[in-house]
A = this chain, B = another copy of it.
Amino acid sequence: MLKIYNTFTNKKEEFKSINAGKVGMYTCGPTVYDYIHIGNIRSYTTPDILRRYLLYLGYEVKHIKNITDVGHLTEDDIVQGDSGEDKLVKKSLKEKKSPEEIANFYEEYFKETEKEMNILPANYFPRATAHIPQMIKIIESLIEKGFAYEKNGNVFFNICKFSEYGKLSGNTLENLNVCKRFDGEEHEDKKNQWDFALWLKAPKNHLMQWQSPWSVGYPGWHIECSAMSTEYLGEQIDFHTGGEDNIFPHHEAEIAQTECHTGKKWVNYWIHTRYLLVDSEKMAKSKGNFYKFEDVKEKGFSAMDLRMLILSSHYRSQMNFSWESLTQAQKNRKTLENFFARITNSAIHNFNNQQNKRSKIDIKKFQEQFENAMNDDLNTPLVLSVIFDFVKNVNSVLDKNENTNLTEVKSFFEKSLNVLGIVLEIKSLKLPKEIVDLNKENEFIDLKNILGTVLLGISQEIIDLMKQRNQARDEKDFKKSDQLRDEIKKLGFEIKDVKDGYELVKL
C-alpha cells in the first residue's frame, strides 16, 4: 500500500484514488520565459517517479502539466504583491520578439529536456493563453458568489471570505494577521493586503491583453491552474504536485479559487519537492552556482547521470548538488550498466538451460524490499540501495558459476529501473550461433524480447533479417547474405561474424 506525504495534512497517508483504478494528476509546469535549471528538473522528476510507480501498481494515470505563458509577474514568486512585470512581456521587450515567439521557444526547450531526462510526457500540456475564456468564467462565478470583487477594472480574491485560507502553507488568516485593518499599500484597489489578483487591468500598450467583463487586461498568475485543471481533469483530482516554492502563495491561491468556485474539496494529495542546494548553498545566478541542463552536459555528464543523482536524495530532503556527487552518480550508473550487460550476456549464453533452474537469488525478497521502499513515500535512495544490494548478490552468484534463473533476475532488474526511469544502454552484444538458429527453427526463444530492452532500437524486422541471413549463409548464397548485412546496417546495427556466433553492434 502506497503511503505518501501530503503537504496539506503534514503527514504520510495511505493513497486511495477517487475513481477505482484511475488517477488524475496535475503538475505546475514551467513559465516559458527562460531555460529550466537543474532545480526545475528535480521538481519534474518527482511526479514522474510517482506516475511511473502508480503505473507499476496498475493504475491508469492522466497527467496534465500546464505551460504558463502569461500572467506570471516578476514579483509573484516572492510576495503576493501583484506588482512587477509579466515575465514573458519583459523577455519579449528585451529580445524584440512577440511573447508567443518567446513562449514557443522555451516550451520546445522544456519538452526536449524532459524527453532527454526520460520524464514521461504529460498526457497534455495546456497553455495558459489558450484558456483565457475558461479563466474568465471562473472569475465571474467567484464574483457572483461573493468571493471576489472588482475595482477599477482589477479583480481580486477576498481571502477573508474563505475561512480555510492558509491551510496548506500554514499562513492562516490568523497568522497573516489580516481581515482587521489594511492601509492599502500592496495595491491601491485591494481590500486586504493578502488578497490576490484574478484579473488585472493592462497598462496602455501592454504586450498581452484580453477583453474581459472588467477591463482590457490579463489574468493573475494563479487562476490558470484552476481553469486548466478543471477543464482537463474535472472538479476533483488525486494529486497536485509542484516545487516547494509553489506552496505559498501559488497553491494556496489555487485552492481558494477552485474550491470556492466548485464548492467541493479539490485536491486529495499535495506533493511538493524540496528545493535543491548547490555546494550546500541556495542556487542563485548572482552566486555563480546556477546550473542549467546544458552546464551538466558540457561537463561530460549524461541526462541519466543527473537522474541517478536526483534519485539518490529523497524528494522531500534538501538535495545537495555538487560535481563530486554527480561524478559518484555517474559511477553508479556505469555499475548498473556493466551489470546489465553481464546478466544479458549470461542469459543469452545459457538460454538452453534456463527454464527449470532453481535460483540462488531470492527475487521475491528483493521485490518486497523494492516495493516497501517505494511505498514509503517514494523513498528512492532506499530503492537504489536495494538495487545495489541485489546487483552485488547476483554478481557473487555469477562469479561462483552457481545456478540462477537469469530471466527472472533480468525481469526484476528491468522493471525496477523502469519505475525509476533509468535507461541503460549497451552498444554491443555477442550472440551464440545456436540461439539465432533455434530462433529461426522454432521461435521458442523470443530474441526480440531478450534484446529489446538492452540494445535500444532493435526491432523484429532486424531479427527477421538476421534469420534470413542465416538461411542465406546455410545455402552458401553469400551475395544475398551480404545484402542482408547491409540492410541490417541501414537499420542501425552491424552484424559481425565471430567465433561460434555473432556480435551485434549498435552504430
Q: Which residues of B contact A490 (CB under 8 A)?
A: 507
Q: Which residues of B contact A209 (CB under 8 A)?
A: 133
Q: Which residues of B contact A136 (CB under 8 A)?
A: 211
Decide if B208 touches A211 in the complex (CB within 8 Å).
no
**Count of chain copies:** 2
Q: Which residues of B contact A127 (CB under 8 A)?
A: 100
Residue from B211, B492, B494 in contact with A212 in the complex, judged by beta carbons closer than 8 Å: B211
Q: Which residues in chain A, 97-154, are within 8 Å of chain B measured between CB atoms?
A: 98, 100-101, 124, 126-127, 129-133, 136
A231 close to B (CB within 8 Å)? yes
Give the number of chain A interface residues (Cβ < 8 Å): 26
A58 close to B (CB within 8 Å)? no
Decide if A100 touches B130 in the complex (CB within 8 Å).
yes
The winner among A124, A127, A490, A507 for most chain B CB atoms within 10 A is A507
Residue from B100, B133, B213, B216 in contact with A126 in the complex, judged by beta carbons closer than 8 Å: B100
Decide if B210 touches A133 in the complex (CB within 8 Å).
yes
Q: Which residues of B contact A248 (CB under 8 A)?
A: none
A232 close to B (CB within 8 Å)? yes
A489 close to B (CB within 8 Å)? yes
Measured in the bound complex, the distance between the Cα atoms of B124 and A124 in whole Å is: 23
Q: Which residues of B contact A211 (CB under 8 A)?
A: 132-133, 136, 210-213
Measured in the bound complex, the distance between the Cα atoms of B232 and A136 in whole Å is: 28
Given contacts A98-B126, A100-B131, 12 further A-B contacts (CB under 8 A): A98-B231, A100-B127, A129-B129, A130-B130, A132-B210, A133-B209, A133-B210, A133-B211, A133-B216, A210-B210, A489-B494, A492-B507
A-B contact pairs, 24 of them (CB 8 A): A98-B124, A98-B232, A100-B126, A100-B127, A100-B131, A129-B129, A129-B130, A130-B130, A132-B132, A132-B210, A132-B211, A133-B208, A133-B209, A133-B210, A133-B211, A133-B216, A210-B210, A210-B211, A211-B211, A211-B212, A211-B213, A489-B494, A489-B507, A492-B507
